[in-house]
């Protein structure tokens, strides 16, 4: 790319369900969108196995294949897709300025942020090795594959509580591994966990290793108070220690909540910066589903279209 700034009507940052859906709508509205994929083209779904809860795929679909389908649909309407990262933005003037990792400068009339979020991981080697082979960060996505089996969930916040109660409906037993002697989750969620007979809470317990070669066979845990090391036989291991929205480059520029999720106007995708819209997991700490991300991606494109039309840009 040259160093001359490039002018675009609609710049989309991110390539998960939100970004690609925004691209499909923007392209069909003749906004000639340019989409930067970021470091992980296709987003979180590319590290998922089977997706069975996305409407329109009655037989289910592999996460990476689904994102390939999203991409091809965006390409069909001539979205300009670039496999690069946006590393810097300046939203202090019009048009909005954005730079790619290679230093290419883009001036955009409207910007759609769809940078998503990433699950936090424990950082164990065995966790990497068994990813999608029993290790998951999404009970709603993968819980079904473990029905009738025994699983473990690590974490002690609302996500862990929610995942554990969700899994308890499908699995024979859920071991909740809590590293301290208390949970961070809200009282009501904790009560729900405590009142579910097939959830066993292991207090003061840290995960030492996830066991298994081709699939999870168990987890080795240590009680940090007694020092006792035990093995729990499970076939599924769910990491629920939080998510991190990919919003670093917008810090101090766009309004965010305490967890760095972008704030949008309820029912809309407007951020506090005019002409900058946010969709998908970058602004949703609550639903975090592919289908809800796609829905807000559509909303962002429609909001951007109305904005650009009102400004006489398209
Ligand atoms: P949180 O940051 O609230 O909690 C993370 C939990 O994971 C903490 O209990 C923490 O333990 C534990 N943890 C972190 N690192 C490790 C580790 N290496 N090993 C073991 N445990 C670890 O994240 P959540 O995703 O749970 O929630 C994020 C936000 O989303 C919160 O504001 C929450 O209220 C909200 N949320 C709301 C929901 C709802 O209302 N239905 C559902 C889901 C989320 P420790 O406590 O010891 O630090």
Q: Residue 118 is encoded by which pair of tokens?
A: 């990433």
Told to judge if 257 belongs to the known catalytic residues of this protein, a careful annotator would answer no
Atom of ligand 1 minimally distant from the CA of 120: 15
Q: Class of 121-239 per CATH?
A: alpha beta
Mutational test site, ligand 1, from 118, 242, 260, 285, max ligand atoms within 8 Å of CB = 242
How much is the average pLDDT of 113-132? 96
Q: Residue 156 is encoded by which pair of tokens?
A: 């002690």
Domain at 6-118+243-310: CATH code: 3.50.50.60
For the beta sheet containing 173-177, the strands, ordered from the edge strand earlier in sequence to the opposite edge, are: 135-136, 236-239, 150-154, 173-177, 199-202
Judged against a pLDDT cut of 70, whether residue 314 lies above it is answered with: yes
Judged against a pLDDT cut of 90, whether residue 114 lies above it is answered with: yes
Confidence of residue 13 (pLDDT cuts 50, 70, 90): very high
Atom of ligand 1 minimally distant from the CA of 123: 18
Judged against a pLDDT cut of 60, whether residue 31 lies above it is answered with: yes
Do β-strands 6-13 and 135-136 pair in parallel, antiparallel, or remain unpaired?
A: unpaired
Lowest mean pLDDT among 133-142, 293-302, 303-312: 133-142
Pair 67, 47: CB distance under 8 Å? no
pLDDT at 140: 87
Ligand 1 atom 2 nearest Cα: 242
pLDDT at 122: 98
- Residue 57 Cα to ligand 1 midpoint, Å, equals 32
The torsion of the CA quartet 20, 84, 289, 297, rounded to 10 degrees, works out to: -40
Told to judge if 10 belongs to the known catalytic residues of this protein, a careful annotator would answer no
pLDDT at 47: 74
Confidence of residue 120 (pLDDT cuts 50, 70, 90): very high
In tens, the pLDDT along 212-269 reads 999 999 999 999 999 999 999 999 999 999 989 999 999 999 999 999 999 999 999 9
Residues 6+ apart with CB under 8 A from 293: 16, 17, 18, 21, 114, 116, 279, 280, 281, 284
How much is the average pLDDT of 265-290? 96
- Give whole-number Cα distances, 301 to 233, 270, 285, 286, in Å: 47, 11, 20, 21
> Rounded to an integer, what distance in angstroms lies between the CA atom of residue 109 and that of residue 239?
40
| Residue 7 bridge partners (DSSP) | 107
The DSSP-derived string for 99-148 is EETT--EEEEEEEEE---EEE-----HHHHHTBTTTEES-HHHHGGGGTT
The DSSP-derived string for 195-259 is T-TTEEEETTEEEEEEE-SSS--EEEEEETTT--EEEE--SEEEE-S-EEES-GGGTTTS-B-TT
Lowest mean pLDDT among 25-29, 137-141, 170-174: 137-141
- Residue 195 Cα to ligand 1 midpoint, Å, equals 20
Residue with tokens 């999720």: 261
In tens, the pLDDT along 174-185 reads 999 999 999 999
Average pLDDT value over all residues in the chain: 96
- DSSP-based three-state secondary structure for 299: helix
In tens, the pLDDT along 32-79 reads 999 999 998 999 888 777 888 899 999 999 999 999 999 999 999 999
Burial 171-182, CB ≥16 within 10 A → b, else e: bebbbbbbbeee
Told to judge if 138 belongs to the known catalytic residues of this protein, a careful annotator would answer yes
pLDDT at 52: 85
Pair 73, 65: CB distance under 8 Å? no
% of the chain exceeding 90 in pLDDT: 90
Q: Does residue 95 have a cis bond before it (omega within 30 degrees)?
A: yes
Torsions phi, psi for 125 (to 5 deg): -60, -40
Domain(s) labelled CATH 3.50.50.60 in the chain stretch across 6-118+243-310, 121-239
Q: Residue 186 is encoded by which pair of tokens?
A: 């809200």
Instruction: Measure CA 168 to chain center.
Output: 23
> Rounded to an integer, what distance in angstroms lies between the CA atom of residue 207 and that of residue 135?
13
Catalytic pick among 142, 158, 281, 303: 142
pLDDT at 49: 73
Pair 152, 237: CB distance under 8 Å? yes
Binding-site residues, ligand 1, Cβ < 6 A: 122, 154-160, 162, 179-180, 184, 241-243, 259, 285
User: Which helix or strand (DSSP H or E) is residue 167 part of?
Assistant: helix 158-168
Task: Give one word for 178, left, alpha or beta, with left for phi > 0 and alpha for psi -120 to 50.
Answer: beta
Judged against a pLDDT cut of 60, whether residue 2 lies above it is answered with: no
pLDDT at 1: 53
């Amino acid at each position: 790319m040259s160093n001359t700034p490039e002018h675009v009507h609609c710049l989309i940052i991110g390539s998960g369900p939100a970004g690609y859906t925004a691209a499909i709508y923007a392209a069909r509205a003749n906004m000639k969108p340019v989409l930067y994929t970021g470091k992980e083209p296709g987003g979180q779904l590319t590290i998922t196995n089977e997706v069975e809860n996305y409407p329109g795929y009655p037989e289910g679909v592999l996460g990476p294949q689904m994102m390939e389908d999203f991409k091809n649909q965006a390409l069909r309407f001539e979205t300009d897709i670039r496999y690069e990262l946006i590393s810097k933005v300046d939203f202090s003037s019009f048009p909005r300025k954005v730079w790619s990792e290679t230093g290419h400068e883009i001036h955009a009339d409207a910007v759609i942020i769809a940078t998503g979020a990433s699950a936090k991981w424990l950082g164990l080697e065995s966790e990497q090795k068994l990813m999608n082979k029993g290790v998951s960060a999404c009970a709603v996505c993968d819980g079904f594959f473990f029905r009738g089996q025994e699983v473990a969930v690590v974490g002690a916040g609302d996500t862990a509580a929610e995942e554990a109660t969700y899994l308890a409906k499908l699995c024979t037993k859920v071991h909740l591994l809590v590293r301290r002697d208390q949970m961070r989750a809200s009282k009501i969620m904790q009560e729900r966990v405590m009142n579910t007979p097939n959830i066993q809470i292991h207090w003061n317990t840290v995960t030492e290793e996830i066991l298994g070669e081709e699939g999870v066979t168990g987890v080795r845990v240590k009680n940090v108070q007694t020092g006792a090391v035990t093995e729990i036989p499970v076939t599924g291991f769910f990491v629920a220690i939080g998510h991190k929205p990919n919003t670093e480059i917008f810090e101090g520029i766009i309004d965010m909540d305490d967890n760095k999720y972008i704030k949008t106007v309820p029912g809309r995708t407007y951020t506090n910066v005019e002409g900058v819209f946010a969709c998908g997991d970058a602004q949703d700490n609550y639903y975090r589903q592919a289908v809800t991300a796609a829905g807000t991606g559509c909303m962002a494109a429609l909001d951007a279209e109305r904005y650009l039309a009102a400004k006489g840009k398209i």
